[in-house]
Structure 1
């Protein structure tokens, strides 16, 4: 069975997006962190994204500006298989994208059961909350950024039951960002 991971940047107050829906605050020019991001992009796998995250990434990663700014990450993002979650039918134009059909938990459960690479949810906080509540996320990866947004979207909005996690890895960067990897306890 394929493993499903969630990868999100968070503020110290637990937000994955600011009050306007922006995520620019999570960007870092720290060279060590940039190598970490590039190494993750080289690793392969597949991506699962909600519509908002998908549209934001599909507008950036295929662009010439993205290829110039982050060539390794752009190559990885454009090469990986991508699964789009949206209630409305879409015609995804970003290479290697398939829209999932049906109810989210069932569609993801079926996807995990298929042959293929492991899957990572990028951003898409509402997907993380729904799939965590359904017990479908095998690993949580958070990059905690050294700022308090004082408003925004919280990552586990709508989660009805407590979710106990066990820390399996941590790493800090000169920028003050901290990478944390958890698995459900």
Structure 2
């Protein structure tokens, strides 16, 4: 059975993206680059919603990505990917499978059938729905030391409190803090 994880960057005020999907505030140093390379080459299946898929595909297939971060770029492009979307007609990023069905039932099926673990990147609407259904096994949250004042939380729409168990904390040279939690379900 595959484990379902989330990896997201958030601000001190809890936003994973700013207004107009802005992520220019992401603070990446050497420690984060090492995490990025390791994660992109882990063999995990990457899972996205359509908005994150479009942003990721646009960047990781660009010449900028290939020049700035070739190791992560190679991993991102060669990784098996899944995009959930009711509006896309095809997924053109290499190694990507488009799923248009019910998110909850499809994730239950994927967790039961997949051999590789699954990692959600970005994709707040998907995170919120899967957290609501208690299908996420663990969360890796990279806390950036800034407040945006406005944006979108990855838990927008939860109908009940979500209790998480802290597993580890790691400080980065950049000032970011990596927080790892396991999902324990609703209170």
Q: TM-score normalised to the size of structure 2?
A: 0.95
Any idea what the Cα deviations from partners look like across 1:83-119, whole Å, max 9, x if unmatched?
A: 0011124211100001113111011111111132100
SS across alignment from 2:17: strand
Distance in 1 between the 2:108 and 2:100 partners? 12
- Indicate whether 1:136 and 2:135 are aligned: yes
How many residues align? The count is 184
State the superposition RMSD in angstroms.
1.1
SS at match of 1:72: helix
Using the TM superposition, give the Cα deviation of residue 51 of structure 1 relative to its aligned residue in structure 2, in angstroms: 0.3
String of CA shifts for 1:98-145, please: whole Å, max 9, x gaps: 111311101111111113210000001111000000111000110000
Pairing of 1:49-128 with structure 2 (within 5 A):
49-128=48-127
Alignment of 1:10 onto 2:10: yes
Displaced runs of 4 or more, over 2 A: none
Q: What is the distance in 2 between the residues matched to 1:33 and 1:140?
A: 16
Contact 1:101 1:107 in 2 (8 A): no
Q: How does 1:158-173 map to 2 (within 5 A)?
A: 158-173=157-172
| CA shift digits 1:1-25 (9 cap, x unpaired) | 1000011100000001102211111
TM (normalized to structure 1)? 0.96
- Unaligned 5+ runs, structure 2: none
